[in-house]
Amino acid sequence: MSSQRANPPDGWSVADEDMQISLYWGDVGEGKLAANTVGLNAPQPVMIKSRDTGGDAYVFTSGDKVYLWNMTMGNVWQYTKPADLDGLLTEMRKPAGTNDVDMELVHQVV
């Protein structure tokens, strides 16, 4: 894991006890199922909102793209600006209101 990924932005966690990778991303995990529903294969978890900030969102990658799984609503969003993980993490570390991030809802595959 790069130092960029090992040091999540404020309000996010990479701690094993928070991420619960086998629960969310195992064969029948909700995160994996959400990703598969929109046509994404082999999702890789990156970080989860920390418990102190709600624990309701999970950033993951699939291929070279970065996504957000809204755990409450069950939908998946793709980060389009910046589109790469390092760029996203840089923007997320900026003070509130100064970051420049865009996302698009990924629609379910029928």
Q: What pLDDT was estimated at residue 5?
A: 62
In sequence order, which residues have a C-beta less than 8 Å from that of residue 77 and are 6 or more positions away?
67, 68, 70, 103, 104, 105, 106
The HSE-up count of residue 46 (CA atoms within 13 Å, CB side) is: 27
Phi/psi of residue 3, nearest 5 degrees: -60, -30
Task: Give Cα separations from 96 to 11, 23, 50, 51, 78 (angstroms).
Answer: 12, 31, 17, 19, 20
Mean pLDDT of the region 57-75:
96
Model pTM score: 0.92
Cis peptide before 43 (omega within 30 of 0): no
Mean pLDDT of the region 61-70:
97
- Please write the tens of the pLDDT for every residue from 85-102: 999 999 999 998 899 999
